[in-house]
Amino acid sequence: MTDAVSKRQRTLWIVSGGAEAVPGIERAKALGLRVVVSDGSAQAPGLALADHAVVASTYDAAATLAAALDYRTRIGPIDGVICIAADVPLTVATVAAGLGLPGIPLTAAQLAMDKLAMKQCFVAAGIPVPWFAPVASAAALRAIVAARGPTLVIKPVDSRGARGVLRLQADTDLDWAFAHAQSVSPTARVMVEEYLAGPQISTEALLLDGVGYTVGFADRNYEYLDRFAPFIIENGGEQPSALAAGARAAISELALRAGRALGIDSGVVKGDMVLSAGGPKVIEIAARLSGGWFSTEQIPLASGVDLIGAAIGVALGERPPAASLQAQWGPGVAIRYFFPPPGRVVAIDGAEAARALPWVRRLGFFVQPGERLAAVTDHTRRAGFVITTGADRAEAVARAREIVEQRVCIRTEPA
């Protein structure tokens, strides 16, 4: 850092101002930074916390870069750019490249936004992944199912939030499945991959000059696969993991290898992993801080690591001390979601009393009384969540279930 930079307040541009980005915005301000927040919604809660607010879609890389260049011209320098709880690494990388700021390569961000190209990259690098293939039509899907059987997952190549992701079954209407997956792909592209049984894990790590530090490692919960079939809906997760130390180490290292294969040398690597009968495999890698309150809330509670602060430092060109990235697994941490019957929300009962419990760390809802709840088809349709802690993971999970099953009720009526 030059003397000139050290004498002025540094500026961090945060792409995304949604509710899940708010803790990151607050952390940046606590670090003494001037914070610019851009979001496509003028009502995004993070904009109200910003020193300077910009209305620009998080998915519009060109518009966000134009706004950043304008800010630099009219107001002052920008020292770093980051996204928090938003799957927009390409927008961040575009701004970083356009302003000469630290960041992952554009090619890495492009691969992270394209699930098919990502897996092709992994195969070329010798990274184990489930069998996969592009699907051009419903007829092609029928041919694949006839050859391989229905134990497959169909998904859009470039969507998020589990939109359009289906676990095929023997009775699945394949014409409908293809059309559904294609309808939520911005580029109308679809792929299939083998469904692998086994524990699924979320990892989150920082790569610093190629050296990896895994600070988040959660067992994902898919107890409702049959209830919501053919849609694949995750019902939270828990830390510390129940897996043996050797399995955890192998999964963590594989996720880091995958991040390096994408071309990430310094930055966040978020892994969606599965421990199959044939060993760990990569489902997807995200090149950004996770959502679901994982990076902002669950990781610091479970491991004691200030991942948000460290990632902000990397975005500013700093190297956090290795000691600050050593996970110290402490209490149990769990998250569970609310899935009330579809219909009009009449009331939400018990929320304030639940929030007063010392082991309820965060309780939130995505709907309010008077709004209509549709059937659950992807993660955007979940109605709310709770994050709990306990002396161990079993207690944390029991407490989370107690909140969603007994203490808090989202009452609905048919609409």
**Contact indicator for 120, 189 with CB cutoff of 8 Å:** no
- What confidence tier does 170 reach under pLDDT thresholds 50, 70, 90? very high
**Contact indicator for 390, 330 with CB cutoff of 8 Å:** no
pLDDT at 415: 81
- What confidence tier does 1 reach under pLDDT thresholds 50, 70, 90? very low
Q: Using a pLDDT cut of 70, give the percent of the chain over it.
A: 98
pLDDT at 330: 86
Instruction: Over range 162-179, report the average pLDDT.
Output: 96
271-282 pLDDT, tens digit per residue, is: 999 999 999 999
In the chain the first and final C-alpha atoms are separated, in Å, by 59
| Torsion over CA: 308, 313, 317, 322 (sign) | negative
Residue 112 or residue 415, greater confidence: 112
53 has a pLDDT exceeding 90:
yes
Question: Domains (ranges, CATH) in the chain?
Answer: 3-101 (3.40.50.20), 113-123+197-329 (3.30.470.20), 131-194 (3.30.1490.20), 331-415 (3.30.470.20)
Instruction: Over range 297-307, report the average pLDDT.
Output: 97
**Contact indicator for 238, 200 with CB cutoff of 8 Å:** no
Nearby residues of 100 by Cβ (< 8 Å), 6 or more positions away? none
276-308 burial, b for 16+ CB within 10 Å, e for fewer?
beeebbbbbbbbbbbbbbbbbbbbbbbbebbbb
DSSP string, 288-333: SB-STTIIIIIHHHHH---HHHHHHHHHTT----GGGG-----SEE
Instruction: Over range 174-181, report the average pLDDT.
Output: 98
Instruction: Over range 173-198, report the average pLDDT.
Output: 97
pTM, full prediction: 0.94
- What confidence tier does 3 reach under pLDDT thresholds 50, 70, 90? very low
d(CA 286, CA 382): 21
pLDDT at 4: 45
**Average pLDDT, whole number, for the chain?**
96
Instruction: Over range 117-135, report the average pLDDT.
Output: 98
396 has a pLDDT exceeding 60:
yes
pLDDT at 133: 98
- What confidence tier does 7 reach under pLDDT thresholds 50, 70, 90? low
d(CA 73, CA 238): 46
